[in-house]
Structure 1
Amino acid sequence: MNNINWKYVIPLENKEEIQEIEKKYSVLLPNDLKGCIENNNAGYPNKNIFDTEVSKEKIFKDLISYNREDEENIYQFEELFRMNLIPFGLDPSGNVLCLDDDKKVILYLHETQEKEFVADNFSEFLNKLY
């Protein structure tokens, strides 16, 4: 496993927020992502560069917060849930890292609505960070 240290973590105020999101949007987050959110909510990793199938050296800015009161939080991404995507992270340009229907990691480009494949699952994504 890629040795990642998370910075600027905002403690998760209520672990039940994850279950509320799952219920509200009829999704099931994989255990590796749930654990990462529970331990590193809104944080960013010291290894934060990743490649997509199209682009190189993209930046993983931070995990999306599951705290309702935080300025940027999961509740702002309802549109992506309706597109059968599970948002979990952002890049500095406002593009969103998501899991698709098959729990593969994609980068959703918000200006063009295009999707770029990143990894087969969340754990593989973390292992690919450099």
Structure 2
Amino acid sequence: MNIKWIMSKPLGNEEAVVRFENMLEIVLPNDYKLCVANYNAGRPRPNVFDTAQRKELVAKALLSFDQTNVENIWTTYENLKNQLPKQIVPFMSDQFGNYICFDYRTSNEAAVVFWDQELSHRNIEKGIIYIANSFSEFIGGLYELN
């Protein structure tokens, strides 16, 4: 399925992505970096995804690499780093304060997981729910509700 991105903002400085990677000592997936270069802060259409446990979750928007944007990756990471397990990196928001994240805990090739803030308050590991093996697989699995 073709993904359209709406409300994206220009990536003012591509060095911001490298600085973020260096700060966290990670390498973000190339397919994600290409997407951000073209659709920084964009909202995907379609935007619905499933996990094994939950259906019809909604992806809102990519977190922006521009620190002046309200929903940016820098502030989000700083605000959540003490609530998330190490090596879980948020990159997209939903409508309810949860995040779609990269999971580097078992590999340098990041899987995509859903961080459910309410479940995480009770048990941090139960709040991390697998979605896909890669960013491309996640984006390719987005669908519209009928």
Task: Return the TM-score normalized by structure 1.
Answer: 0.94
Instruction: Pick one of 106, 112, 120 that aligns with 1:105.
Output: 112
1:38-77 Cα distance to aligned partner (Å, 9 max, x none): 1111110111000011100000000000001111111121
1:120 aligns with 2:133: yes
Aligned partners of 2:128, 2:85: CA distance in 1, in Å? 15
1:4-60 Cα distance to aligned partner (Å, 9 max, x none): 110000111111100000001101001001011111111101110000111000000
Q: Percent of counterpart pairs with the same letter?
A: 37
The answer for the alignment partner of 1:59 in structure 2 is 58
1:87 aligns with 2:86: no
Aligned partners of 1:112, 1:81: CA distance in 2, in Å? 12
Structure 1 residue runs of 5 or longer lacking an equivalent are: none
Aligned partners of 1:82, 1:47: CA distance in 2, in Å? 29
Alpha-carbon RMSD across the aligned residues, in angstroms, is 1.4
1:26 aligns with 2:25: yes
Structure 1's consecutive aligned runs of 4 or more residues displaced over 4 angstroms after TM superposition are none
Contact 1:81 1:87 in 2 (8 A): no
The answer for the alignment partner of 1:50 in structure 2 is 49
| Pair 25,82 (structure 1): closer, same or farther in 2 beyond 3 Å | farther
